[in-house]
Amino acid sequence: MGNRVPMIAGNWKMFKTCPEALETARTLVSLTAGVSDVEIMIAPPFTALSGVSEITGPTGIQLGAQNLHWEKEGAYTGEVSGAMIYSAGCRYVLIGHSERRQFFGETDETVNRKIFAALDAGLKPVICVGEDESERDAEKTFSVLDKQMEKGLKGVLPDQMGSAVIAYEPVWAIGTGKTATPEQAQEVHEYLRKILAARFDDNVAAKTRILYGGSVKPDNISLLMALPDIDGALVGGASLDPETFFKIISHKT
């Protein structure tokens, strides 16, 4: 396969004040000091990025933002650009998280613009895709993913995919305690890899990391990580507590 380094990423969503974020980061740094076989990334809220970066900067822990705007700068009150988050220490950025699609009107078109903004700023995009419950029930999972991947990745070149990560996050499994079964997750990840091969080439398909997200916990991570097309996890709720997140990183229950 493509020698993909596993990645465990934590999305802190809209949780943690600055002091709380710094304390969590410090604990995580000391817990993960001996970890070398997995890339760890955390995505704190914007307000804590710069402070957390001072703590994680000298370590192997990567920093990500949860969102960015597609313009470089301008009169866009309340928005944050790729260059801004890069300068705060980020090297990754989540794009198209289902909570952004659901509550903030993000579409495959805005996802596409944000991917280019991230690449322009030197950020690695973590592109989130996934079906909701009604789409799964109606057996539309694959067609939803086809559309999200086609429109989201429109115009992206194979070498630009070198820095991208895909996160498959079935919306019905996010924050609900429901996890896709290992079979369901593997089936979709394999499908996404086929889309990458068809849309780009076999090399991109083999090299691109595809993370699973949706109620990942210490007691389900091992089964998920054992699957051939699952290269890691994007963890929400269970990443907020550093001890729990460390158990996921080290695949311990």
Q: Does 130 bind ligand PEP (CB under 6 A)?
A: no
Q: Does 220 bind ligand PEP (CB under 6 A)?
A: no
Options 99, 106, 131, 169, the catalytic residue: 169
Helices 182-199 and 141-152, packing angle to 10 deg = 40
Residue the block writes with tokens 């950025």: 93
Window contacting ligand PEP (CB under 6 A); options: 85-93, 139-147, 169-177, 194-202: 169-177
Window contacting ligand PEP (CB under 6 A); options: 70-78, 132-140, 150-158, 211-219: 211-219
Return d(Cα 237, Cα 65) in angstroms, integer. 16
Which position among 24, 32, 67, 215 is part of the footprint of ligand PEP (CB under 6 A)? 215
Which position among 152, 213, 232, 242 is part of the footprint of ligand PEP (CB under 6 A)? 213
Q: Does 127 bind ligand PEP (CB under 6 A)?
A: no
Q: Does 93 bind ligand PEP (CB under 6 A)?
A: no
In the region spanning residues 2 to 41, those forming contacts with ligand PEP, defined by CB under 6 A, are 11, 13
Tokens of 92: 């990754």
Residue 97 known to be catalytic: yes
Do residues 69 and 95 touch, judged by C-beta distance below 8 A?
A: no
Dihedrals φ, ψ of 106, to 5°? -70, 140
Q: Does 221 bind ligand PEP (CB under 6 A)?
A: no
Residue 251 known to be catalytic: no
Q: Which is nearer to ligand PEP, 117 or 234 (CB)?
A: 234
Hey, which bits of 25-151 come out as E strands?
Answer: 39-43, 62-65, 92-95, 124-129
Options 39, 69, 97, 189, the catalytic residue: 97
Residue the block writes with tokens 């192997």: 60
Return d(Cα 7, Cα 224) in angstroms, integer. 13
Residue count, binding to ligand PEP (CB under 6 A):
14
State in angstroms the smallest separation of the CB of 42 from ligand PEP: 12
Q: Does 66 bind ligand PEP (CB under 6 A)?
A: no
Measured over the CA atoms of residue 46, residue 47, residue 52 and residue 54, the dihedral's sign is positive
Q: Does 234 bind ligand PEP (CB under 6 A)?
A: yes
Dihedrals φ, ψ of 71, to 5°? -85, 155
Q: Does 44 bind ligand PEP (CB under 6 A)?
A: no
In the region spanning residues 171 to 210, those forming contacts with ligand PEP, defined by CB under 6 A, are 174-175
Q: Does 218 bind ligand PEP (CB under 6 A)?
A: no
Q: Across the strands, what pairs with 39? A: 7
State the burial class of residue 30 (Cβ atoms within 10 Å of its Cβ: 0-12, 13-18, 19+): exposed
Report, as residue numbers or ranges, the catalytic residues.
97, 169
